Structure 1
């Protein structure tokens, strides 16, 4: 009788709601994404133009003359 109860209990345990079942996967995904963002080699703020370049200045000089 004891084995039958444990067998039923074991199979029924798989049907119970486990609210933290995916917590490990979610934590791992968060850490992986965080590391990817922190150490991503491309930083667009280092490459954007900070003002008009020499070609724009030459064009303006031609238009003003």
Structure 2
């Protein structure tokens, strides 16, 4: 013998429910995209120019220039032959 059952069809979603579901879905899509993004810029962050850049672009202070001048004159005196 066959049994007949009656099931009611799901009622169509109202505009408020559809909007709420769309916002919920948009939130989760954005969350998953941000949470599982493999790009991590803080891992590649450089903290400024290094010593090679400074040596090339930054001028020497007057104190350092005078010390270098003294060193160069001292080397010149030592390497020049005495008469």
When the two structures are superposed, what TM-score results if normalisation uses the length of structure 2? Answer: 0.44
Tell me if 1:48 matches 2:40: no
Answer with 1 or 2: which has the greater Rg: 2
Give the superposition deviation at 1:60: 5.1
- Structure 1 residues not aligned, in runs of 5+: 1-13
Which structure 2 segments of 5+ residues have no match? 1-11, 66-83
1:19 paired with 2:5, answer no
Higher helix share: 1
Matched residue of 1:21: which SS?
helix
Count of residue pairs brought into register by the alignment: 49
Counterpart CA distance in 1 for 2:38 and 2:50 is 25
Asked if 1:32 is matched to 2:3, the reply is: no
